[in-house]
């Protein structure tokens, strides 16, 4: 009896202890809605972000993220805003942003995607809502006195990744290929470093936006996006120049430090991986391994 009582006491004690961080994260993914500017809001689900616009004619939603997040958002929108969803727009084709579209795209909701993203979702048979509105270069969706300007900037991340500018609030939403306050993701899986640089330059060449919302990390300003571009350019140049000198990937990872960006989240963990991503791209897409002008060849 004493051993049973001791076990019961120990079990009760364990049940009162806080959950490990991983378990807590699974139970509480951190769903929340924040007003960013005027009628534009950000939806957070753990490390993911989407944006939406509220008008008296209805709601314009972006990435559902996943099925659980979409269900939570659906209920939150019903409680908070007394208007129906009219549009759901995918930022690009990747599953970790498009799943759950079938939950939000109920009757009367139009689903929007760039033609390449829509094609990929269909060809790969993703279990989400398929797009019924597609476009090649630009698309403007109007809701009451507001509008969303969608634009394709060429390859950068995944397939058919676009920018979305909410007007007149002048809030820009971009997923994955621009990140504010954090390093680009690990070794750049699914990314085109040339396209990331080119697309970000295009965004900065357009009329200035007031606020930036990313699919991950922080909101920011035009200056924050400029700094992000400078990081990409510095990273690319450092890897390229080192490879032209015949340096190996381990050597590049040891020598390239870019300390002026050490304040970015995941700098220490992901800088070597970012270097590996650029190195892989230059090998796979630019055939640096075939260059006869590289030192030591």
Sequence spans of domains, the chain: 29-221
Say how many C-beta atoms besides its own lie within 10 A of residue 173's C-beta.
Answer: 30
State how far the alpha carbon of 288 is from the alpha carbons of 92, 152, 234, 239, 240, in Å: 29, 29, 19, 11, 9
On whether the CB atoms of residues 202 and 229 are closer than 8 A, the answer is: no
Residues whose CB falls within 8 Å of the CB of residue 91, separated by 6 or more in sequence, listed in order:
62, 63, 97, 161, 162, 164, 173, 174, 175, 176, 215
On whether the CB atoms of residues 100 and 70 are closer than 8 A, the answer is: yes
On whether the CB atoms of residues 52 and 88 are closer than 8 A, the answer is: no
SS (H, E, C) 129-180: CCCCEEECCEEEEEECCEEEEEEECCCCECCCCEEEEEECCCEEEECCCCCC
Six token digits for residue 25: 């994260």
Question: C-alpha angle 73/55/66, rounded to 5°?
Answer: 20
Which of 11-15, 16-20, 226-230 is the most confident on average? 226-230
Least confident stretch, 23-27, 165-169, 203-207? 23-27
pLDDT in tens, 268-288: 999 999 999 999 999 999 999
Q: What's the CATH number of domain 29-221, 3.40.1360.10, 3.30.460.80, 2.30.290.10, 3.60.15.10?
A: 3.60.15.10
Place of tokens 């690990």: 186
Give the full edge-to-edge strand order of the sheet including 162-167. 138-143, 146-152, 162-167, 171-174, 211-214
In this prediction the pTM is: 0.89
Q: Quick one: pLDDT at residue 153? A: 98
Per-residue confidence band for 10, with pLDDT thresholds at 50, 70 and 90: very low
Question: C-alpha angle 50/28/215, rounded to 5°?
Answer: 20
Say how many C-beta atoms besides its own lie within 10 A of residue 140's C-beta.
Answer: 12
On whether the CB atoms of residues 277 and 186 are closer than 8 A, the answer is: yes
Residue 183 — φ and ψ, nearest 5°?
Answer: -70, 155
- Separation CA 49–CA 64 (nearest Å): 9
pLDDT in tens, 124-141: 999 999 999 999 999 999
Per-residue confidence band for 297, with pLDDT thresholds at 50, 70 and 90: low
Q: Quick one: pLDDT at residue 13? A: 42
Assign 265 to helix, strand or coil: strand
Q: Quick one: pLDDT at residue 82? A: 87
Give the full edge-to-edge strand order of the sheet including 110-114. 32-37, 40-45, 48-55, 58-61, 85-89, 110-114, 133-135
Q: Quick one: pLDDT at residue 27? A: 45
pLDDT in tens, 29-77: 699 999 999 999 999 999 999 999 999 999 999 999 999 999 999 999 9
H helix intervals, the chain: 2-16, 21-27, 67-80, 95-98, 101-104, 115-123, 193-205, 222-244, 249-255, 267-284
């Amino acid at each position: 009896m004493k051993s049973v009582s001791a076990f019961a006491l120990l079990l009760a004690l364990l049940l009162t202890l806080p959950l490990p961080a991983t378990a807590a994260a699974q139970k509480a993914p951190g769903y929340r809605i924040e007003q960013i500017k005027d009628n534009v809001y950000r939806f957070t689900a753990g490390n993911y972000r989407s944006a939406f616009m509220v008008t008296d004619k209805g709601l314009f939603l972006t990435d559902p993220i996943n099925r659980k997040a979409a269900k939570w958002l659906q209920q939150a929108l019903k409680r908070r805003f007394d208007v129906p969803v009219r549009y759901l727009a995918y930022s690009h084709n990747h599953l970790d942003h498009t799943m759950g579209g079938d939950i939000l795209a109920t009757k009367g909701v139009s689903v929007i995607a760039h033609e390449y993203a829509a094609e990929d979702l269909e060809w790969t048979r993703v279990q989400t809502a398929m797009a019924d509105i597609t476009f090649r270069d630009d698309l403007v969706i109007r809701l009451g006195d507001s509008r969303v300007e969608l634009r394709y900037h060429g390859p950068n991340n995944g397939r058919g990744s676009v920018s979305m500018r909410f007007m007149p609030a002048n809030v820009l939403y971009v997923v994955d290929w621009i990140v504010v306050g954090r390093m680009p993701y690990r070794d750049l899986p699914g990314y085109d470093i040339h396209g990331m640089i080119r697309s970000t330059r295009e965004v900065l060449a357009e009329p200035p936006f007031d606020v930036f919302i990313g699919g991950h990390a922080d909101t920011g300003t035009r200056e924050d996006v400029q700094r992000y571009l400078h990081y990409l350019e510095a990273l690319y140049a450092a890897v390229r120049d080192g490879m032209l000198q015949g340096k190996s990937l381990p050597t590049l990872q040891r020598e390239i430090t870019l300390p002026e960006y050490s304040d970015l989240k995941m700098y220490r963990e992901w800088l070597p991986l970012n270097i590996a991503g650029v190195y892989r791209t230059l090998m796979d897409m630019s055939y640096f391994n075939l260059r006869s002008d590289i030192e030591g060849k």
